[in-house]
Structure 1
Amino acid sequence: MLLNGAEILINCLLEQGVDTIFGYPGGAVLNIYDALYKYQDKITHVLTCHEQGAAHAADGYARSSGKVGVCLATSGPGATNLVTGIATAYMDSIPLVAITGNVTMPLLGKDSFQEVDISGITMPITKHNYMVKDINKLPDIIREAFYIAKEGRPGPVLIDIPKDITGQTAIYEHQEPVEPKRKNKYITREALEKVAKLINQSERPFIFAGGGVIASSSENELKQLVNKINAPITTSLMGIGAYDSNDNLYTGMIGMHGTKASNLLATKCDLLIAIGTRFSDRVLSDREHIENAKIVHIDVDPAEINKNIKVDSYIIGDIKLVLSKLIPLINEKNNLEWLDTMSFLKKQKAIVDRQEEALTPQFLFQKLNEITNGNLIMTTDVGQHQMWAALYYNFKYPRTYISSGGLGTMGYGLGAAIGSQFANKDKLVVDISGDGSFGMNCNELATIVSNKLPIVIIVMNNNSLGMVRQWQNFFYEERYSHTTLNRETNFVKLAEAYGLKGYRVEYKEELDGVLREAIGCKRPVLIDYIINEDKKVFPMVAPGEPISKVICEKDIMELASANVSE
């Protein structure tokens, strides 16, 4: 079949099962948009308000569905506006294919209008990228890009296509997509037996699960392992949802804002079993902090083994395959004394129990737990609200906590909510944001309304850049340099201007009714949730300190009292 390059592109996307693209048109991609017009009955294009919103939407689509997300932008500024979204996906190992247009071949390298070397710009933040210079190679490049995005450790791939390539014609022949095989080259009997021996010998095992468990769809195997050795389990931020947070053996998130139980168990265990995680500096970056424990690392990416933490044993390979082969070699355990220690530590409170008339973060997530019972997809921006969501909402299922972990991208949540809703049309999607993050990409409210997406947006409004302010409070002697916003933005009126239903919640007795009405009305809603600017995320570990040095609210109160006494 003789087709032009743009039509070949669309047909190859259809081969890969793509049903939704997020993008923004421009001169260099006019041929592609003309093809999208012709194929609109087969593939949905979602017009966002900004290319960064398109990248975040494709990312949210991928995280919440397990499929490859696709975004499309024109050359020059359109392409560079994708960069933050591509980097976000790269840091969190999210399968994404970003397609950009470029100037025609004769104009490349001449500083032409809206020309930029997007391949060079994105080289450090993609698994691979392409500049298509031969239309005959276009189909194979597209197929290979999807394969690379999904294979092994997932990640983003960029395809840059000059405009004249999309206008040229070539023969297209349909091919069925090739699904990547699960990596098993290094899953040897010797490696399995060595790890099994360490687990069988341990008396205080502690399991640490990361986003790799979710990426490999290994939640069932993880639960089998937990139950067989009767071990406490923690997750990284990216691993939230890999294990039911309501289960008694779950101890909450680990790391800088991890629970006291998780952080202390990591220092008291005799074996830390790390699965699908990269030992981020926000979790654990110094082996000396848990010097009494041996460490086992299971991961698909060889580059992560011994990169940040020196381990005692490891298995490289697809986690689902590794665990299916490892579990039969492991003895059942009861670990009763160790579980008593876990239970004691789980009772330690990070915040002081007191009756508060004002709205609190905990109260919001308590109500969300009551009303939704874990049956939602929650996207977040980045900051205090992100940590409060991770600490206080009870996630039961994988792919329901959608958040930027590695890059920490403010403005991520709204685009991710759009992508998540398109991928999960029958599910409730709730976006948790802060007033600082919300200001980054609030223009995507128009996208939500235009597409009639029943997303519930909750802005935790403390009139500040809360997390930065918290650090200024702890480490900069309360010099709040440019973190108090004072913007006087009326979020309810802003929501109404865009066509959403807007609510402001200032008192506790208002919240239950507002949440139930917002969820039940099946239309886009924004809730302005007013909290005090000095509310802090607890627990907290100071940068560079051992994770055992957990700062709780009581510690800060006692320190402040001692300073007053002096």
Structure 2
Amino acid sequence: MNNVELLSGAEMIVRFLRDEGVEHIYGYPGGALLHVYDALFKEPAVSHILVRHEQAATHMADGYARATGKAGVVLVTSGPGATNAITGIATAYMDSIPMVVLSGQVASTLVGTDAFQETDMIGISRPIVKHSFMIKHPSEIPEILKKAFYLAQSGRPGPVVVDIPKDMTNPAEKFEYVFPKKAKLRSYSPAVRGHSGQIRKAVEMLLAAKRPIIYAGGGVIMGNASAQLTELAQLLNAPVTNTLMGLGCYPGTDRQFVGMLGMHGSYTANLAMHHTDVILAVGARFDDRVINGASKFCPNAKIIHIDIDPASISKTIKADVPIVGPVESVLTEMVATLKEIGETPDKASVAAWWKQIDEWRGTGDLFPYNRGDGTVIKPQAV
């Protein structure tokens, strides 16, 4: 008990962020969070990036999360500060970006009284977050923040809002602070691996395919599975296409890459997808920019769909082989299963498929093109 540290609610928030490894916070000060800013000023390990509008804070945190894989952290005040953050929160939710938004709120005794700058941030944000919390006692702060970071970064990543009434950060009240090592959430248990039977079924389907294609989305990048995807694609000698969110998950200069898919995608990718007989969809959601109508999408294809989020599978296009699990572990097991089986796709069928793809490339695509001598940047290469 001699090592117990007593901190105010505001100090707990800042200390937790430091202990969680947060290095940068993006925000704009306001009255409801002034105590937090006072504590933040005294903590050199956590850097605050001042914006001029709260929406900018959420977009900056979004970019930080995409670049690092860590949760972006946002600090906004009550009322207009919180509502200004909504667009950036919605963007993070749609793109599965980990983000923790700490929003100020009126004192707990004033909640529900239409007090100055009171806004129901919990209700407003509910459709566009993984979860929303309201701090009801300062002693809850470490545990709730731990849950918020765990939720934001696990399973299908996304934003989490923590609403903080002003009296929860009162510097005159001190409480015991202990950094929680683990979040305790009884009702939340994301898959840690895919079903081995489904994975084997998927591998066998790919080996039997005559015109396979791999369709990769942003989940490959968020799931750190680019290396596994590349190895699997090369073992199968299958063409690879991706979504806008998936750009970069497979080498764009590789011969097997046929370009981005969808209404803004390449001629080759769209024709290859339409004529394929087996689709391996990895971390992609079959949105309207790709399918352009479920009834006409890939009428002759069997679909294998891998995603960490079970709600994303068969949402718009029915999967023949659904696999719920982290894409990295699922693809790793697929590669191992493929090597264990020891077979390769039929060479004649694969050769005929690539011959057709190369014909599409030559007639209507950006490739081949004159790359020049390297002194001038070609738009096609970019």
- Above 0.5 in TM-score? yes
CA contact (8 A) 1:15 1:176 kept: no
How much has 1:243 moved relative to structure 2?
Answer: 0.6
| RMSD between aligned residues | 2.5
SS of equivalent to 1:282: helix
Q: Does 1:314 align with 2:329?
A: no
Whole-angstrom distance in 2 between the partners of 1:314 and 1:174: 39
Q: 2 CA distance for matches of 1:367 and 1:62?
A: 34
Deviates more, 1:92-101 or 1:338-347: 338-347
| Alpha-carbon distance in 1 for matches of 2:375, 2:273 | 31
Q: Is the 8 A contact 2:93 2:158 kept in 1?
A: yes
Say whether 1:62 aligns with 2:65: yes
2:34 maps to which of 30, 33, 42: 30
Structure-2 residue corresponding to 1:325:
333
* Residue 113 (structure 1) aligned with residue 126 (structure 2): no
The corresponding residue for 1:488 is none
Provide the rounded CA distance (Å) in 1 between the counterparts of 2:361 and 2:168. 60
Structure 2 vs 1, CA of residues 336 and 350 (structure 1 numbering), >3 Å: closer, same or farther?
closer
Contact 2:192–2:326, Cα closer than 8 Å, also in 1:
no
Partner of 2:158: 155
Give the C-alpha shift of residue 196 in structure 1: 1.4
Aligned residues of 2:268 and 2:365 also touching (Cα < 8 A)? no
Q: Per-residue displacement from partner, 1:408-466 (whole Å, max 9, x unpaired)?
A: xxxxxxxxxxxxxxxxxxxxxxxxxxxxxxxxxxxxxxxxxxxxxxxxxxxxxxxxxxx
Given that 1:296 and 1:313 are in contact with CA atoms closer than 8 Å, whether structure 2 keeps it comes out as yes
1:77 aligned residue: 80
- From 322, 336, 352, the equivalent of 2:351 is 336
Q: How much has 1:287 moved relative to structure 2?
A: 4.7
Tell me what 1:278 maps to.
285
CA 1:247 to 1:28, structure 2 compared with 1: closer, same or farther past 3 Å?
Answer: same
Which letter does structure 1 place at the counterpart of 2:30?
G
Structure 1 range deviating more: 313-322 or 334-343 = 334-343
Matched AA of 2:135: V
Instruction: Pick from 1, 11, 17 the counterpart of residue 7 of structure 1.
Output: 11
SS of equivalent residue, structure 2 residue 133 = strand
* Partner Cα distance (2:221, 2:280) in 1: 16
- Is 2:212–2:239's contact at 8 Å kept on the other side of the alignment? yes
CA distance in 2 between counterparts of 1:48 and 1:162 reads: 22
Structure 2 match to 1:461 = none
The answer (yes or no) to whether the contact 1:266–1:290 under 8 Å persists in 2 is yes
CA distance in 2 between partners of 1:156 and 1:122 (Å): 10
Instruction: For 2:36 and 2:196, locate their aligned partners in 1 and report how far apart those are by CA, in whole Å.
Output: 50
The residue type equivalent to 2:88 in the other structure is G
Q: CA deviation at 1:323?
A: 0.9
Equivalent positions of 1:81-480 (< 5 A) are: 81-167=84-170, 168-176=173-181, 184=191, 187-284=194-291, 285-330=293-338, 331-333=343-345, 334=347, 335-349=350-364, 369=377, 392=380, 394=382
Aligned partner of 1:262: which letter?
A
**Structure 2 CA distance for aligned equivalents of residues 128 and 248 of structure 1:** 42
- What is the DSSP-based 3-state SS (H/G/I as helix, E as strand, rest coil) of the residue aligned with 2:102? strand
What is the correspondence of 1:507-522 to structure 2 with a 5 Å cutoff? Answer: none
Is the 8 Å Cα contact of residues 268 and 364 (structure 2) preserved in structure 1? no
Question: Deviation at 1:178?
Answer: 6.4
Partner Cα separation in structure 1 for residue 333 and residue 210 of structure 2: 22
Q: Which moved more, 1:175-184 or 1:4-13?
A: 175-184
Q: Percent identity?
A: 43
Aligned residue pairs total: 364
Asked if the contact 2:122/2:161 (under 8 Å) is kept, the reply is yes
Deviation at 1:33, TM superposition (A): 0.5
Distance 1:183 1:223 in 2: 25
Amino acid across the alignment from 2:310: P
Tell me, what secondary structure is at the counterpart of 1:221? Answer: helix
Q: Secondary structure at 1:255's aligned position in 2?
A: coil
What's the offset of the Cα at 1:281? 0.8
Q: Is the 8 A contact 1:199 1:205 kept in 2?
A: yes
Residues 70-125 of structure 1 show CA distances to partners (whole Å, capped at 9, x for unaligned) of 01100000000000000000000000000100111111111111110011000000
Distance change >3 Å, CA 314–CA 118, structure 1 → 2:
same
- CA positional deviation for 1:295: 0.9
Amino acid at match of 1:22: Y
1:261–1:348: 8 Å Cα contact kept in structure 2? Answer: no
Alignment check: 8 A CA contact 1:234 1:253 kept: yes
For 2:297, what is the secondary structure of its paired residue?
helix
**1:48 aligned residue (36, 51, 54):** 51
What is the CA-CA distance between 1:18 and the residue it aligns to? Answer: 0.3
Work out whether residues 26 and 75 of structure 1, in 8 Å CA contact, stay in contact via their aligned partners in 2.
yes
Contact 1:203 1:270 in 2 (8 A): yes
Aligned-pair CA distance for 1:16: 1.4
Post-superposition Cα deviations, 1:117-157, rounded to whole Å, max 9, x if no partner, equal 01100000000011111111111000010000011110000
CA 1:317–1:182: 2 relative to 1, 3 Å: farther
d(CA) in 1 for partners of 2:376, 2:14: 41
